A and B are shown apart, each in its own frame.
Chain A
Amino acid sequence: MSSTSFERRRRRAGLLFVAPAAIVLLAILAYPIVESFILSTQSVRLVAGGVTKEWNSFANYIRLAGDETFRRAVVNTMIFSFGEVALVVSIGLAVALLLNHPLGRWGFFRIMLVVPWAIAPVANAVLWKWILNSNYGILNGLLKSLGLIEYYQVWLARPWSAFGFLLLIDVWKSVPFIALLLLAGLQRVPQSLYKAAYMDGAGRWQAFRHVTLPTMRSALAIAVVLQTIWSLRVFEIIFVLTRGGPADATVLMNFLAYRVTFNFLDIGYGAAIANIIFALTFLLAITYVWLMQPRKRRISS
C-alpha cells in the first residue's frame, strides 16, 4: 500500500493516466507535422520506387506566389469559405431557433437534424451526383415540370453553377452540426432574462435582439470559427463530383494540395500548399481557443 497523500497520489496517477494518449498522439501526429515543414523546403522526387529529397530552401513557397492555379485556388477557397460560413451559420441559427420553440421540441425534428450529420460526405456527394445528373437527374425533371427551365442542364459543366452546387451540397451537410451547437447555446440563455425583458415591455424581436443575440455572441463566434476550419477541409464532394473542374473553377486549396502531391507527385510543393492551410487553420484554432475562455466582462444590453 502506498503511503502518500491524496493530492500527491493524484498528481502521480495523473501523469500515468495521460501517458498512453499522449504517446499515441505524439507518435502518430507529431512526426508528420514536423516532417511536413521539412518536406516543404525540399524538392522531392520519386525515382524508381525510392524517394530523393534535396533542400531547396523556400523555392516551393516562392513558386506558390507566381502560380496561377494556386492563386485561383486561394480565391476559390476564400469565396467558398465565406459563403459557406455565412449560409451555414445563418441557416443553423434559424434552425436552432425553430427547434428551441415549443412547437419544435418534437423528437422527430432532432432525428431530422442528426441524420444529415451522420451521412458520410462521400455518400452525400454520390447522392447529389445522381440528383444533378444531366440526363435523368431529379433536379432537371423537377425544374422542367415546374417550367423553370426549358432544357435539361449540365449543372456541373459550367464554372459558377458547379461551384454553387458544391457550396449548396456542403451547406446541406454542415447545417445540422452548427444548428446543434447553437441550440445548445440557446438552451443556456436563462429563461428569467426573457421574463424580465417581457416585463420591461420588449416584443419578440426586441427580446431576440437584446437578450438572445448578446448571450449567444460567443456561441455564434465559435460556430463561425469552427465552420471556417471545416470549410478549409472540403474534399470528398470535389473528388466525387468535379475533380476541380470545369477549368479549375472548383479547385480549393485542400484539393490542390492533394492533386499536386498525389496526382502530379510534386511532393515538396504539395507540402508547401498544405502548410499554408495548416497555418490558416492554426490561426483559426487559436481564435477558437481564445473564444472558449470564460469571459470576464459580461455583455450589457
Chain B
Amino acid sequence: MSQIELRHVDKSFGAVGVCHDINLTVEEGEFVTLLGSSGCGKTTTLNMVAGLEDPSKGDILIGGRRVNDLSPVQRDVAMVFQNYALYPHMTVAENLGFTLKMRKMAKPQIAERVAAVAASLELTPLLERLPSALSGGQQQRVAIGRALVREPRVFLFDEPFSNLDASLRVKMRAEVKQLHQQLGVTTLFVTHDQEEAMSISDRIAVLNRGKVEQFGTPEEIYSRPATRYVARFIGNPQIDLVPGELEPGADGAVLRLAGVALTLPDFVPPPGAGPAVEVGVRPEHVRLTEAGIPAKVQLVQPVGAATHVVLGWEGGDLIASVPGFVHLSVGAAIHFEIDPRHVLVFDAQSGDRLM
C-alpha cells in the first residue's frame, strides 16, 4: 500500500500562511502533479510529504499510516530535486549508492544494485565520474537513478527538469512517464509548467495561493476548469476572457458580449449567478469565417502546426488558432465565429465556472 493522503494540511511560517487546508489523495500507482506558479505552496506541500518540512496542522498519510512524525527514511520516499542536488564530491556510483550505505547495506549488494540501476539509465560508462564532469541531462539521470536505487514506496519530484533546455526536457518527460508505466510507483510531481503537467500526469492538482483550486485529470482541468484561475493557467496560448452578460433565453440562456449574442442551448444558469460574467474562449474554438463577427487582424504568429492570429474587435483582443499557415496582412478586415458549445462561462465575481 502506498497511497498518499493529505488531510486538512496547513503550513505557515510565522504569520505567513503558505498552504491552506490542503486535501489530496494520490491513489496507489497514480502519477499526480502539483501545478502552480511560484509561491503557490507546491514545493512546500511536496516537502511535507517527504518529511523535510512539518505541517502546521493536519495529517499526512502514506499507505494509510500517519507519517507526520516520521523522518524521510522512515517514510520510505525517494525524491528528485530541482538542480539535481548531486553530492559534488562523490562519483556517480557513490551518489547512487549513498542511500544504501546509509542503510548499512553490504558493499557487494550496493555495487550490484547500483550497477543494475546504472544499466537501466545508461549510466554505466559514467559511474566513476564526478557530477561536475557530466552534462545536464546526465546529471538529471543520476538524480533519478539515486531515487530508483532505493525501490521506494513513493517517488517525489521537485521541478526536476527546470534546468534542462527545451528539447532535453521533453525527452526526459517521456522517460519519466515510461519509467512510471514500468514500475507503477506512486508519484507526486511538482512543476510550474502546465504543458509538462498535462503531458505527464494521471491527475493534476492546480494550486493557487496555498489552496487546491482543482484536482482532476488533464482533460477535466483543460476542458472543464473549475475556476477562472485554472482556465487562465492551463493552455497555451492563454485562454481569452471577455466580459459579458448572461440572460435567460427561450431554450437555455443567451450570452451577450460586446454586441454579440450567443445562444447557449440547454444551459440553465444556477440561481444567483450573473448577470455579469466572464466568458473564456480558447484559441482553437475561434474560427475565421467569411461572415460573422467583424474584426481586424492585429498580429500573426505562425508556430508551425498552427498560426495564432490576434484579432481586434469590439470586445477587445482575441486569439484564434488556425491549423497550418495562413497568410493575412496586419490591419486586414476579417470575420470570426465562436463555437458556443465550447465557451466557458465564469461568474465575474467569484470566478467560479457556471458552464
Contacts and interface: CB of A to CB of B under 8 A. Distances in A.
Interface size band for B: 10 to 19
Q: Chain B contact residues: over half helix, strand or loop, or mixed?
A: loop
A26 to B, nearest CB: 29
A6 B51 contact: yes
Contacts, number: 28
Instruction: Say whether chain A's binding surface is mostly helix, strand, loop, or mixed.
Output: loop
B259 to A, nearest CB: 50
Contacts of B51: 5-6
A1 B68 CA distance: 15
B71 A3 contact: yes
B74 interface: yes
B54 interface: yes
A14 to B, nearest CB: 15
Interface string B52-84: 111000000000000011111010000000000
Nearest to A3: B69
Contacts of A2: 71
B74 A7 contact: no
Nearest to A2: B71
A7 B48 CA distance: 10
Interface in A1-58: 1-9
B70 A3 contact: yes
Contacts of B52: 5-7
B53 A9 contact: no
Contacts of A6: 51-54, 71-72
B71 A7 contact: no
A7 B69 contact: no
A8 B53 CA distance: 9
A8 to B, nearest CB: 7
B63 to A, nearest CB: 16
Interface string A205-249: 000000000000000000000000000000000000000000000
Interface of B: 51-54, 68-72, 74
Interface of A: 1-9
Given A1-B74, A7-B52, 9 more contacts: A1-B71, A3-B69, A3-B70, A4-B71, A5-B53, A5-B69, A6-B52, A6-B53, A8-B54
Q: Which 8 A-B pairs have the closest CB atoms?
A: A6-B52, A5-B54, A7-B54, A3-B69, A5-B51, A6-B51, A7-B53, A4-B69
8 contacts: A2-B71, A3-B70, A3-B71, A4-B71, A5-B70, A5-B71, A6-B51, A6-B71
